[in-house]
Every structure is written in C-alpha cells, then in structure tokens.
Chain A
Amino acid sequence: MTGQATREEDCMSQKTRALSRRQFLKGISMAGAASLLPLRLLMPYSAEAATAFREQDFQIFRNACPRNCYDTCSIKTYVKDGVVQFIEGAQESTFTQGGLCVKGYAYPRRVYSPDRIKYPMVQDGRRSGNWRRVTWDEAMDRIAGKILEIKEKDGSLLGLGLTKYSGNFGITNYGVEGMMSSLGYTTRFVGTPCWPAGIDAQNYDLGDMWCNDPEDMVKSRYVIIWGANPAWCSVHSMKYVNEAKRRGAKVVVIDPIFTQTAAKGDVYWQPEASSDGALALGMARHILDLGLVDSDFVNNHAKGFAEFAAYLRENVTVEWASGLSGIPAEQIREVAEEFANADPATIWIGYGMQRHTNGGASVRAIDALVAMTGNVGKEGGGARYGHLRTWGFNYHALLQKQPEGSLGFVGAAGPKGEFDFTKGEAASFTDRTVNINKTAQAILDAKDPALKMLWVSCKNPFAQDFDRPKLERAFDTLEMVVSVEQFFTETVNNSDIVLPVTTLFEEWTVNASYWHYWVGINEQAIKPMYETKSNIEIAALLSKKMNQLAPGSCTFPQDIDTREWLEKEFNQGIYDYLGIKHWTDLKNGPVKAKLASSASWSDKKFGTPSGQYEFHSDLCQQNGHDALPRYKEGRKSFDEFRLLTPHTKFGLHSQFVNFDWMQEFNKEPFLYMHPDDARDKKIADLDMVRVFNKVGELKIKVKLTSNVAKKSLVIYEAWFGQGNDFNVQNLVDDESADMGAYKTGAPGVAIHGQFANVERV
C-alpha cells in the first residue's frame, strides 16, 4: 500500500516543468489571447505558475470531522477570500491518508447551502411552517423568560429537558450540557442508541471497551468482520482489511445483509439476524473439542474458563448453532478451526449486531471466542469494538456549576421532585435522568414536575429516536421546544424556536476518534456565516439574558472565545499521550497517540474486578444478566418480515443526504427485498410499496435483490430534506436491548429487532 503510494509520487515528480510551460504557451497562442494576458505570464519560468495549482494562493486551516463516525477524519481546508474553496484529508494521518469520504467532501456545500438556517427564527404554530426571523435578543428573551417561568412555577428546573447526543462530537460542544448545569438541575436524556450493549459486554469481559489500533489489522492472519460494514461506515479502515488480505489473511464477513464489505471478503455468511451469540458459541464448542484453546491465556489470565467450557459441553453443539443461525455446521467447523489456528486472528464486532434484545449477550459470546483462542492483548488480534482512550480532555465546557440554591432530584433514585427536598441539602441534588432511547415515552411519563420545555442540540430526535408517531404526540405536550440546528429538519418542524449553529469551519474545537488513535485540532477557518453561533456562544448569550432578567440565575460565563475554550480542554495527560508540548502543535497536523503496543490489553492486566479476562463475571450477574456469556434468544417476531434500518453510505443518520450535492448521486430512498418474497407479494422491481407494522407505515419504491435475506426488508436510515417525509422511525419501536445501563446510564435499543409487512400500492 505504502509502496504503491511512493511509486505514484515518484511518477509525479518526474514531470518536467518545461513540458507544462510549452503546453500552456501553445494553449494561449491558440486562443489568440496571448496579447491580452498580463505580461508577467509570458516571462520565462513563470508560465507554469499561471496554470499549475499553487498552495500559496490559499490560507490553509486544520479541521476535524466531528460526526459520529469511526473515521473522525483530519481535514485540510483551503480558504481564499474568506471562503472555503475545497477540502481534503490530512496527509499526516496514516489513517485518513489524504482523503475523506463522500460525506466529508460535501462539507463545502453544507456551509454555503441555500437551505441553511441563517438566523434565529420563531415558528407560529408547530408544523405550520410559519417561520419568522427574530433577533438573537428576542429569541433569548423568550427562552430565558420561559425558563424563569418554569422555575417560578415548579421551584426547580426539572421541567426543562435536554436531549443531545452525537450530532457534533467536538469536545467544546459538551458546553451544551454545561449550559444546562449552569441553569440548575434539569432533566437529561441519558444513554445512547448507538453501541451501549456492546460497551457493557466488553466492560464485563475485559474491564473496559478498548480496541487495538485499527491500523494493526494488517498484521492479522484471519479477520472476521461481524455485523459491521466499514465499506460504507469506515471507508478508511478498508485499506487495512485489504492489506491483511493481500498478505495472506482470510477475511470472513458475517452479516444478515450481503453488504459492500461482504462483497470484498473471501467468505460471506448470511446468518439469521440476532443469532450471532449462537454462532459464536458453536464455534467456541468446536474449538474446545479440537483442543485448540489457548491454555496459557485461559489458565493464567482469565477467570471462569472451566465453567464456560462446561457450559459449552453441556448446552452447545455446532448443529444447534447451525439450526439457529442457518449457517451449515460444516462451515461453522471450518471457520472456527481456521480462526483458532491463525495467529493472530481478530474479530471486528460491529455496532449493528448488538442492536438487539440479546445484543450484549452476543458480544460477550464473541469476546469469549477471541479470548479462548488467545487473541486478546495481541497485535493484529483483538475483539475490536471501540475505545475512548484519546478522550481524556478536561471537559471544561461540560463542568459548570449550578446556581446557588438550585433544587433538583435527591440522589439518582427516581423522580421525587422538589417536594421531597429538605432545604439546605442542595449539594446532594442531581439532575433527573430519563432514557434517551425512549424519548417519546419519557416525555409522556415525566411527572412532578412534567417536562414543559425541551432543548435540542447535536441531535435530531425525529430522525433518530424511535416510534415517530408517538414522538409527535409527546412533543405536542411540551410548552416550548428550542432546536439548535443548521437545517429545517423534522425536529425543527416540531419546534417553536430554532437557533442557527456553526459548522466545523466556523468554530474552534478538538476531536478524537473512538476507533483510531489520531487526534486533530479544529480551527476556525472562516467567520461564522449569517448569524450563526457555536453551542458555547449560544450558552453565553443565554447566560447574559438570564442574568439580566434574574441576576444569579445562570453561572455560565457570558463572554467567551471558542479558541480560549478549546485551550482549556487540554492537560498534561493529553500532551504526554500524544507526545506534544502544546495544543498548538496540532496546527501542524493531526497526531497519533504514542502507544506502548498497537494491541489493547497487551500486558494482560484487565480492568475487571479480578484483573483477569472474565468468562465468568459476577458484576454482569449482579446487574441482572448471566455471569457466563450464555446464549440469549433474540426478540420474537411480531410481523411477517424482519425489518433492518441500517446506515446508508450517503449520510450519517439525518446528516448529508439532504444536500443537493449528495442528491446528484442518491436521489431517493428504496426498500430492498428478496425477489422470491416480492413474487409472493406480487411486487415488481421499482414498484411503490407500503411498509407497515404496529408503529406506523411508510410508502417507498422497492428494489429487488438477493443481497437481502428472504423474509427481510432493508431500508437505509436517512433524511432527504424538507418536503420529503421519508423516515424509517415510522416503523421502529423503542424496545430495549439487554445491556447498556451499566456504563451509559440506559439500556441500548433493539433497532434491528424489528418486524413489518409490505404490500404493493
């Protein structure tokens, strides 16, 4: 890979300057325009400069993509006359390697899109579309007035809720949570719809979620990609998979959909969705039978292997796993044996496979498979899921103090409201926490006090939260909804006030990845467009207004500089980990953490209570699950087809797909279904169909393909922009996953444990 790149550069440097100049002069004389050109262009040695790209014609800034994505690309932004001209990937990062993705390259359009929200606006009647421009002062007056009204009526601010997640992972954007704290004790939507079941599973097994450096996948002799689709969702990781393959590794892709990643593997398995645990355990049983267990690891670095082995012998067979998964027993044996014999071997555990009612249990089974073969703590090995090792910032923006005398919840025991408080115990108050994966139900259920006002930032609940029909009913009970956004999303449509927020090019911040180990600075490259403000500037403005109306009612600083606030996020620990002296060193390009080993857990000192890898986890049992990674059944079907609503390559949740630039390549959504099922339903390719279930329905065009398993429907999650009501959340309910509460505050959600029916319309 590197060799090829070098050869290409050699090939480039061979170009002669004379040739280009001749070519240029020939061109202008043919144009008959030579006499019109400024004289300096005809001077010797300067002709080339007139046509060749010149870096010095631009101001170059460092940016970092703040989206919820494995790749978290380091960006170089080329600015001329205060305008972003184009962007590219930073060459310094071996991960980004000079390139972005289809989404990242659309950023210049995002900043200058005619659809961008330019000013604070107020909607007279939700979903009416009657938006009118207001000043920042008027917007803040209404918002602060409402907050004070709630405080006056309820005696606390628990009636004010915040829902925020991953729309912008720039570290200073945690100032939104800081803003809420600076107002008092409020209601927070906690947890994550993304990856919580797997996080808990890895914490029970290993004591943390901590993956190998993805760049060390090239050393793997066997790669299983299990429920992940990096060809769409982590394009920069594919070069490591390809390189491992080129060096002789076998690549097996396991996914209910024949994904683009699957098309690039050696072997593709299409198991029944949510049968992953059974498959992993079946493989584990076969490895046990063959005596291919790594005895040093299981005896010296693990707890409970004998018990796990007994469970496998008594309860698991390859045939049983085959029956549940649909993968032939012979295949399970073959891949299990190859995996156990390869050294090192690795499994990339995708977030998709844990979005089930048994997701955490399935991840534990796969972890066990990697551990029993001695592949944990090994370069080129590992049960790869994610990490947060490079996220050790100060969270200065996040950590704000409540105003003195604020009232809230007592402890985390549940909704007690202000009535249970004993005056003078303010220090023991907390926010009220509700499950982010049950946003609609939480809004409807909140009592004493009820939720009256919701602040939405870095999140689009109507696109990502579940049971859209219920969410609309829930929002309708709220007295005020404030959205901080860049586009008129469905959530904005269900809001009263929208505040225009900056893009990555318009503020300072810093970004880390949960997959690779590079950290990049995000410089302000251009002045904020229109009247946009960053999240922390909005917080400062609100604080100013709060204190005008009621002195002392908000502790958030009223005058801030995003560059200074970025600086406050750094500490010596981060500097040491990255091997830099000062954050400004990152202005020369992204930096990778100085890792003792590319492997996580290389010293085999695990973060579990026993300090060992725990096949048997008491903690897991205490939290209401099995101590062992036993098989747990998935969700029972409640309709004719399984419904999968994974990510599209053209967007990240509700971002990017709405741009006209993107719609040049992706004009409309489709349902994908198997041709055999279509025949039974008398549906032809490109027919319009209705997909429906107990939650709701949507109408959509169909594409027939055997990439999708029989009895499955696949629709990629996206928001196509204003005027298009396509939304997969009309079909997805809020059923919880098994795990997630331990580490993220709320269980995950069974996004892929969904079912629906389809008919031609």
Chain B
Amino acid sequence: MKKKYAFLVDSDKCIGCFTCAMACRNYYHQEKGVVWRHVYPLNEEIYPHRERAFFSLACNHCENPACLNVCPVEAYTKREDGVVVHHQEKCIGCGNCIRSCPYGAPVYNPVEKRAEKCSFCHERLDAGLLPACVQSCPTGALKLVDLATMEPGNHVQFPPGFPKNDKVNSSTRFIMPKVPTMVRR
C-alpha cells in the first residue's frame, strides 16, 4: 500500500515548548522572519486557559495541495508518499501559493525572493530518519504517521481552531487537550 505520511499533533501531550519550531530552525537556518513550523496557542474559547494548549503547525502536506495547483512553473511536486515538495530553484516568487494556501504554510523568503515551506525533511525520510521536528519533540506530541495504515482513534482532521477545508484535504491529524481539575483559593 502506498504511504500517506502526515503529522499527528497530540495537543494533549504538547507542552508548547517550541522545541519542534527551533529544531526546524536549527536544521534549516531559515532567513529572519521565515518560519516553517510555528507553535500556536489555542484560543481561550477552545481551551479555557491562556497559552496553556497549543497546535504545532507547519505544512499540512495536503492530498490536493492548493500550492501545487496554483503554481505557474510547477515548482511543487507531490511525492507518492504524500510529501509536498517545493523546489525553490524553479520558483519565480510570484506568491500564488502564499496567497492560496488556506493554512499559510508557504512563506516568502525576502533574500531569495522566492517562496519556501516545510519539506517534511524528505531527505531525512529517505535516509530512514524522522523529520527534525518529530525527532526533537520531548513528549511525543508531534509524530510521523502513515494515514494509509493508521488505526482509527481519538484523532480528528478538523479540530476547533483549525480551518476546515475539504477541498485541499489536509493530512495533519489532531488530538485535543484535556483540562485538569482546578482547585483555587
């Protein structure tokens, strides 16, 4: 069976430590202001305590990627294992992908004057290694999963706080956080 690689974001295990985001920067040394992976605090309507629950998000490596569809120079390819790759050497910096992605994954690199985004560390995948962010996660909150074989569980595709877009069919899956019993004075 063909693989369908995806990120599993387990917000119940996530401690919002930003390790994944910095591990990405450590590996790719992005230009100032260029961020492939962000850690977003959940809105208080979704989790009642400010900055205490998070989604770690990068490219969602969609089934039907908007970036790939709107790119005029075929700078995007989708690998058979699901990874959406941006080939920066072909990019002309038109910004179509940046405007079209419902998740803001492609970002503009002002030095290269081209777009770029999370590559799923496909060069690491091809060497049998985990993506830098997944390897770095100290609590196992960010995982590499294969949607083709993943067993059903408590994970969802469109949790509250994550834009629902059936057309692109994003691959990232989520587990929601829990709230402890609160005893305050």
Q: B50 to A263, Cβ gap below 8 A?
A: no
* A177-185, A268-276, A382-390: which lies at the interface: A268-276
Most buried by A among B16, B81, B127: B127
B18:A239 contact, CB within 8 angstroms: no
Chain A residue, CB-CB nearest to B144: A8
In the complex, chain B residues whose CB is within 8 Å of the CB of A295? none
Q: Count the A residues whose beta carbon is within 8 Å of the partner chain — how many?
A: 78
Q: Is B53 an interface residue (CB 8 A)?
A: yes
B135–A88 touching, CB < 8 Å = yes
Per-residue contact bits, chain B 69-89, to A (CB 8 Å; 1 contact, 0 not): 000001001011100010101
Shortest distance in angstroms between A37's beta carbon and chain B's nearest beta carbon? 12
> Are B123 and A11 in contact, with the CB atoms below 8 A?
no
Q: A97-B138, A108-B29, A270-B184 are in contact. Are A664 and B87 (CB under 8 A)?
A: no
Check if B111 is an interface residue, CB within 8 A of chain A.
Answer: no
In the bound complex, do residue A703 and residue B180 qualify as a contact, i.e. CB atoms below 8 Å apart?
no
A442 at the interface (CB under 8 A from B): no
Interface status of B17 (Cβ within 8 A of chain A):
yes
B15 x A238 contact (CB < 8 A): yes
Q: What 0/1 readout, one digit per residue, does chain B (84-128) give for beta carbons within 8 Å of chain A? A: 010101100000000000000000000000000000011111111
B21 to A, closest residue via Cβ? A665
Tell me if A269 and B183 are in contact (CB < 8 A). Answer: yes
Contacts of B126 in A (CB 8 A): 15, 20, 48, 51-53
The reply to whether A30 and B74 contact each other, CB–CB distance below 8 Å, is yes
Looking at the complex, which of A320-328, A531-539, A731-739 is the stretch in contact with chain B?
Answer: A320-328
A-contact 0/1 string along B131-168, CB 8 Å cutoff: 01001111110011010010000000000000000000
Query: Which stretch (A229-237, A560-568, A693-701) binds chain B?
Result: A229-237
CA distance in complex: A99, B13 (Å): 16
Is A709 a contact of B184 with CB atoms below 8 Å? yes
Q: Which residues from chain B contact A328 at a C-beta distance below 8 Å?
A: 183
Closest Cβ–Cβ distance, residue B6 to chain A (whole Å): 12
Q: Are B136 and A99 in contact (CB under 8 A)?
A: yes
A52 to B121, CA, bound (A): 9
Q: What's the minimum C-beta distance from B153 to chain A, rounded to whole angstroms?
A: 13
- What is the interface of chain B mostly: helix, strand, loop, or mixed? loop
With contacts A11-B146, A236-B138, A270-B185 taken as known, whether A102 is within 8 angstroms of B17 at the C-beta atoms is yes
Q: Roughly how many angstroms separate A331 CA and B182 CA in the complex, as a whole number?
A: 11
Assembly CA distance A101 to B137 (angstroms): 8
Contact A105 B25 (CB under 8 A): yes
A325 to B87, CA, bound (A): 59
B22 lies within 8 A of A235 (CB): no
Is A86 in contact with B27, judged by CB distance below 8 angstroms? yes
Cβ-based interface call for A54 (8 A)? yes
Shortest distance between the CB of A114 and any CB in chain B (Å): 11
User: In whole angstroms, what is the CA distance A229 to B83 when docked?
Assistant: 36
Contacts of A325 in B (CB 8 A): 185
Residue A403 is within 8 A (CB to CB) of chain B in the complex:
no
**Chain A residues within an 8 Å CB radius of B177:** 263
Minimum C-beta distance from A742 to chain B (A): 33
Q: Are B124 and A53 in contact (CB under 8 A)?
A: yes
| Given A53-B123, A101-B19, A268-B180, A707 contacting B139 (CB threshold 8 A) | no
Question: How long is the Cα–Cα vector from A261 to B16 in the complex, in angstroms?
Answer: 10
Which residues in window 294-332 of A have CB below 8 A to B? 325-328, 331
A263-B49 contact in complex given A12-B129, A660-B32, C-beta closer than 8 Å: yes
Q: Let me know if A89 is at the binding interface, CB within 8 A.
A: yes
- Closest B residue to A241 by CB, please name it: B139
**B residues near A268, Cβ cutoff 8 Å:** 180-183
Task: Say yes or no: A661-B139 contact (C-beta < 8 A), given A101-B19, A235-B17, A327-B183.
Answer: no
Whole-angstrom distance from the CB of B139 to the nearest CB of chain A?
5
A263 / chain B contacts, CB cutoff of 8 Å: 49, 52-53, 177, 179-180
CB of A664 within 8 A of CB of B35, answer: yes
Question: Known contacts A51-B126, A260-B52, A705-B50; is A272 also within 8 Å of B185 by CB?
Answer: yes
With A272-B185, A707-B49 in contact, do A665 and B22 touch (Cβ < 8 Å)?
Answer: yes
Q: Give the contacting residue for B137; candidates A22, A23, A99; CB below 8 A.
A: A99
Q: How far is the CA of A262 from the CA of B53 in the complex (A)?
A: 11
Residues of A within 8 A of B35 (CB): 664
With a CB–CB cut-off of 8 A, which chain B residues contact A706?
49-50
Q: Distance (Å) between the CB of B80 and the closest chain A CB? A: 6
**How long is the Cα–Cα vector from A30 to B74 in the complex, in angstroms?**
8
Q: B18, A649: Cβ atoms under 8 Å?
A: yes
Q: Do B129 and A31 touch across chains, with their CB atoms under 8 A apart? A: no
B50 touches A707 (CB 8 A): yes
CB pair A242–B13 under 8 Å, yes or no, is yes
- Residue A264 is within 8 A (CB to CB) of chain B in the complex: yes
A106 proximal to B (CB < 8 A):
yes
Contacting B at CB under 8 A, from A204-245, are 231-232, 235-236, 238-239, 242
A715 CB, nearest partner CB in chain B, Å: 15
Q: How far is the CA of A412 from the CA of B51 in the complex (A)?
A: 50
A92 within 8 A of partner (CB): no
Asked whether B18 lies within 8 Å of A8 as measured between CB atoms, the reply is: no
Let me know if A13 is at the binding interface, CB within 8 A.
Answer: yes
Chain B nearest CB from A649 CB (Å) reads 6
A55 to B90, CA, bound (A): 27
Whether, in the assembled complex, A100 has its beta carbon less than 8 Å from a beta carbon of chain B, the answer is yes
List the 7 closest pairs (A to B, CB-CB), nearest first.
A326-B185, A52-B126, A105-B22, A231-B15, A105-B26, A705-B50, A102-B18
Contact sample, A vs B, 27 pairs, CB 8 Å cutoff: A8-B143, A8-B144, A13-B128, A20-B126, A22-B80, A26-B77, A31-B90, A51-B123, A52-B124, A88-B136, A100-B23, A102-B21, A105-B19, A231-B15, A231-B17, A235-B19, A235-B138, A239-B139, A242-B13, A242-B139, A268-B182, A268-B183, A272-B185, A664-B32, A703-B50, A707-B49, A707-B50
